[in-house]
């Protein structure tokens, strides 16, 4: 019987009831859950980030409030340069990623193209390679004396500085992140109601004019959403510039300052503040842009643009473009594979010889890494879907005060770069000891799992929200009208119906947490606590370890690939289940 049942309340007559309402609010289980989650997010997200922000505004010697650190930051040319470089790299990555994604999106949505499966897989392949792992492989293929340049120099006498300085970062990031733009752009192009296009054709427009005046503006919101996401992720990424030795960008500077000068260095915090502020601004800008322009709901139907068949010459160009991009996209995977099976690869287009020894070495040395990864990512993903489901329910089904805030708070984690979260945790938890032991909390392995959990929460939350939105409120109400309490109806009706989405969210959370590096690298204290991503980083630090590191990288790729495929499969199956007779 629920707490709101009058009999129940009556039986609690006494002191509690005579106290004013606001002192002892009528708390149901859902209320308690909301409060608990709020505290969790506060302690694991807001407080560490706030700590970081505060330190940036403090004088390091006296602790007094000051803007001096920021002044110092902007007066220092290195930092100004890093700021500009981060901005430049992020923007250029968006540009290059668009250049890759746009033709692909256009080909799939505009034409009957039998290679569409190919393009869909293009959208998936880069995402399964953690970018920092890809960076190493890209160096081998596109570096100064990598495969491509050696061959170019031999055959044609020139080389292309693909990987010099910032270019390398831009190249690796664009190839890794263009799927975001491809997926969003394809979706918004596909969402364009065919009659939008036909109406324009009917009134005399076609070709490029049509694209410019009608198609592109309608696809813009989707594109902007994807582009903003790419921008933030590149801006905040630590692993790729680190492994490419590019230090004059914001994230690596923050990492280097904190790790070499210490957690008392104010500059690391100033950079963190800038990273966070910029991320939040980008997110906000993209939301602003999207608001009022959600064209999907204004158009009735969709159906996408009219497709036509490709003429012969166009077919050749289309296939050519797709295959070229495919090769580009596969190059890090290819390089990694070669490295993992290679003996020695030095100043040559290909390794000297091939062997399985690296895999053996990797296996012998990585059992701890793999077990840790399963543990951390497992905990992170489990917590993510639990909290995600709870928040989704609270936001969509209850009227609890501040529920929107819960949503925003959880989603805000998107704007916090991994490196900042890591620094925040170090700072916040290093003075606290783990209960019952002498270990400072900052070096406790659980912190790593919690950081992963927070970082992946926004995605899990979105998955859970989407899953819950598909469960009509009427289903719950039907259960309640037949006598089930709120809790039982959630348990027996809502959650089972959300299973597909929850499972998909779990799998994605797990797979991406398994290869996170930015926060991990700040928080890992000892090799026995290290997960996969850190393990790869460690392997790459020794001459004999590169092959094994690559082998471990392949393992990481496989983990993410399986996770992504499984998640897709679950969603598809779930869709089929729901599509029969579900229309309202």
Partner 1 sequence: MKKAGITIENVHLAFGDTKVLEGVNLDIQPGEFFAFLGPSGSGKSTLLRAIAGFGPTPEGRILIGDRDVVGLDPWTRNVGMVFQSYALWPHMSVRDNVGFGLKERKVPSAQIRKKVDAALELVELAHLADRMPNQLSGGQQQRIALARTVVVEPDVLLLDEPLSNLDASLRVHMRRELLRLQRQLGLTTIFVTHDQEEANTTCDRMAVLDKGVIQQVGSPLELYDRPESLLVANFLGTANILEGKVEIKGGARRFVTKTGDLLPLPDDSVGEGGNIVLRPQNISISRTQASGSLPGKVQHSEFLGSQIRYLVSAGGTEIVVDQSHRAGHDWIETGADVHLVANTQSAVVL
Partner 2 sequence: MKKILYSTIAMIAVSASGALADGKVTVITSFPDSMTGPLEAAFEAAHPEYDLEVLNKKTSAGVKYIQEIAGDNTADIFWASAPDAFEVLKGDALLADVTIKSEGIPDRIGAYPLNDPDGKYYGFAGAGYGIMWNERYLKANGLEPAKEWDDLAKPEYHGHVGMSAPSRSGTTHLTVETLLQGEGWDTGWAKWKRIAGNFSTVTERSFGVPDGVNTGNFGLGIVIDFFGFSSKASGFPVDFSYPTVTALVPANVAVVSNAPNEPGAVAFIEYLLTPEGQEVLLDPAIMRLPINPATYAKAPEGFPNPFEDSTIGATVEFDVAKSGARYNLVNSMFDLMITYRLDDLRSAVGAIQAAEAAHADSGNEEAKALIAEAWALIDANPINEAKSLDAEFAGIFTKKRKKATDEVGARQAEVEQEWDAMVVANYAQARELADKAAGM
By the criterion CB under 8 A, which residues form the site for partner 1?
Answer: 193, 195-196, 198-206, 209, 213-214, 217-218, 220, 293, 295, 298-301, 306
Contact assessment for residue 423 and residue 258, using Cβ atoms and an 8 Å cutoff: yes
Q: Which of 140, 234, 380, 412 binds partner 2 (CB under 8 A)?
A: 140
For residue 160 the two structure tokens come to: 């292309």
Q: Closer to partner 2 at the Cβ: 260 or 580?
A: 260
Q: How many residues bind partner 2 (CB under 8 A)?
A: 54
- Using rule CB under 8 A, residue 348 touches partner 2: yes
Which CA distances in Å does 210 have to 98, 194, 204, 215? Answer: 20, 13, 9, 7
Provide CB contacts within 8 A for 496, sequence distance 6+. none
* Least Å from the CB of residue 198 to partner 1: 6
- Using rule CB under 8 A, residue 345 touches partner 2: yes
482 contacts which partner out of partner 1, partner 2, none, CB within 5 to 8 A by kind? none
Q: Which of 2, 121, 499, 528 binds partner 2 (CB under 8 A)?
A: 528
- Using rule CB under 8 A, residue 347 touches partner 2: yes
- Using rule CB under 8 A, residue 143 touches partner 2: yes
Sign of the alpha-carbon torsion through 49, 129, 553, 547: negative
Which CA distances in Å does 409 have to 290, 345, 449, 456? Answer: 20, 47, 19, 13
Residue among 31, 15, 44 at smallest CA distance from 455: 44
For residue 253 the two structure tokens come to: 């500077």
- Using rule CB under 8 A, residue 76 touches partner 2: yes
203 contacts which partner out of partner 1, partner 2, none, CB within 5 to 8 A by kind? partner 1
Q: Which stretch binds partner 2 (CB under 8 A): 176-184, 209-217, 495-503, 526-534?
A: 526-534
The CA-based angle 360-361-365, given to 5 degrees, is: 120
Q: Closer to partner 1 at the Cβ: 11 or 309?
A: 309
DSSP state letters, 121-140 = HHTTTGGGS-HHHHHHHHHH
- Using rule CB under 8 A, residue 542 touches partner 2: yes
- Using rule CB under 8 A, residue 445 touches partner 2: yes
Q: What is the DSSP letter of 354?
A: B
Which CA distances in Å does 395 have to 43, 243, 403, 475? Answer: 21, 41, 5, 17
540 contacts which partner out of partner 2, partner 1, none, CB within 5 to 8 A by kind? partner 2
Q: Closer to partner 1 at the Cβ: 218 or 409?
A: 218
Contact assessment for residue 376 and residue 501, using Cβ atoms and an 8 Å cutoff: no
Q: Closer to partner 1 at the Cβ: 305 or 452?
A: 305
* Least Å from the CB of residue 345 to partner 1: 52
The CA-based angle 166-167-173, given to 5 degrees, is: 90
For residue 350 the two structure tokens come to: 């290909």
509 contacts which partner out of partner 2, partner 1, none, CB within 5 to 8 A by kind? none
With 0-12 CB in 10 A as exposed, 13-18 as middle and 19+ as buried, what is 201?
A: middle
Site map for partner 2, 14-53, x if CB under 8 A?
A: ----------------------------------------
- Using rule CB under 8 A, residue 357 touches partner 2: no
Q: How many alpha carbons fall within 13 Å on the CB side of residue 502?
A: 20
Q: Closer to partner 1 at the Cβ: 196 or 538?
A: 196
Distance CA 571, CA 584 (A): 20
* Least Å from the CB of residue 231 to partner 2: 24
* Least Å from the CB of residue 529 to partner 2: 9
For 99, phi then psi, to 5°, come to: -60, -35
**Residue 440: strand pairing partners:** 433
Site map for partner 2, 394-423, x if CB under 8 A?
A: ------------------------------
* Least Å from the CB of residue 219 to partner 1: 10
Distance of CA 78 to the CA centre of its chain: 29
Specify the 3-state DSSP secondary structure of 151. Answer: helix
Sign of the alpha-carbon torsion through 217, 219, 223, 224: positive
- Using rule CB under 8 A, residue 438 touches partner 2: yes
Q: Provide the 10 A C-beta neighbour count for residue 126.
A: 25
* Least Å from the CB of residue 227 to partner 1: 18
2 contacts which partner out of partner 2, partner 1, none, CB within 5 to 8 A by kind? none
* Residues in 266-305 that interact with partner 2 by CB under 8 A: 267
Interface positions with partner 2 (CB under 8 A): 60-61, 72, 75-78, 81, 139-140, 143-145, 242, 245, 247-248, 252, 256, 259-265, 267, 343-348, 365, 375, 430, 433, 438-440, 445-446, 525-528, 538, 540-546
């Amino acid at each position: 019987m629920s707490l709101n049942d009058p009999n129940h309340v009556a039986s609690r007559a006494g002191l509690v009831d005579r106290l004013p309402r606001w002192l002892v609010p009528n708390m149901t289980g859902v209320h308690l859950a909301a409060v608990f989650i709020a505290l969790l997010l506060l302690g694991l997200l807001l407080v560490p980030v706030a700590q970081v922000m505060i330190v940036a505004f403090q004088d390091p010697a006296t602790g007094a409030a000051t803007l001096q650190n920021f002044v110092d930051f902007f007066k220092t040319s290195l930092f100004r340069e890093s700021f500009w470089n981060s901005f430049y790299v992020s923007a250029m990555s968006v540009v290059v990623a668009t250049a890759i994604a746009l033709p692909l999106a256009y080909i799939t949505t505009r034409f009957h193209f039998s290679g569409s499966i190919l393009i869909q897989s293009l959208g998936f392949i880069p995402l399964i390679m953690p970018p920092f792992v890809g960076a190493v492989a890209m160096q081998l293929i596109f570096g100064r004396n990598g495969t491509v340049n050696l061959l170019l120099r031999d055959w044609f006498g020139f080389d292309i500085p693909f990987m010099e300085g910032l270019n390398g970062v831009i190249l690796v990031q664009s190839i890794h992140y263009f799927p975001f733009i491809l997926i969003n752009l394809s979706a918004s192009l596909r969402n364009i109601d065919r009659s939008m296009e036909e109406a324009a054709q009917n009134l005399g427009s076609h070709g490029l004019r049509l694209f410019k005046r009608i198609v592109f503006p309608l696809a813009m919101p989707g594109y902007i959403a994807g582009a903003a996401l790419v921008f933030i992720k590149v801006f905040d990424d630590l692993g790729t510039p680190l492994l490419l030795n590019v230090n004059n960008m914001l994230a690596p500077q923050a990492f280097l300052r904190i790790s070499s000068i210490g957690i008392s260095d104010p500059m690391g915090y100033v950079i963190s503040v800038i990273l966070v502020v910029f991320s939040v601004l980008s997110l906000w800008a993209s939301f602003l842009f999207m608001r009022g322009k959600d064209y999907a709901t204004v158009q009735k139907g969709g159906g996408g643009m009219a497709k036509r068949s490709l003429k012969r010459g166009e077919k050749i160009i289309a296939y050519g473009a797709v295959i070229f991009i495919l090769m580009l996209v596969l190059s890090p995977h290819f390089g990694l594979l070669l490295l993992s099976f290679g003996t020695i690869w030095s100043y040559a287009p290909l390794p000297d010889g091939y062997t399985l020894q690296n895999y053996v070495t990797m296996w012998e040395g990585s059992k701890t890494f793999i077990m840790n990864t399963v543990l951390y990512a497992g905990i992170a993903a489990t917590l993510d879907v639990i909290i995600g489901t709870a928040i989704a329910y609270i936001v969509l089904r209850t009227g609890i005060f501040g529920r929107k805030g819960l949503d925003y708070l959880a989603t805000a984690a998107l704007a916090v770069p991994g490196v900042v979260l890591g620094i925040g945790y170090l700072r916040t938890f290093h003075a606290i000891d783990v209960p019952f032991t002498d270990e400072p909390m900052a070096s406790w392995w659980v912190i790593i799992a919690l950081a992963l959990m927070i970082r992946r929460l926004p995605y899990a939350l979105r998955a859970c929200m989407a899953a819950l939105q598909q469960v009509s409120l009427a289903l719950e109400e039907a259960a309640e009208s037949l006598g089930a309490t709120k809790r039982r109806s959630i348990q027996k009706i809502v959650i089972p119906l959300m299973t597909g989405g929850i499972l998909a969210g779990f799998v994605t959370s797990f797979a991406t947490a398994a290869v996170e590096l930015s926060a991990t690298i700040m928080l890992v204290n000892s090799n026995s606590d290290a997960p996969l991503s850190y393990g790869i980083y460690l392997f790459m630090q020794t001459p004999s370890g590169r092959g094994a590191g690559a082998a471990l990288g392949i393992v990481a790729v496989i983990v993410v690939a399986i996770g992504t495929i499984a998640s897709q499969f679950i969603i598809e199956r779930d869709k089929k289940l729901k599509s029969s007779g579900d229309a309202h």
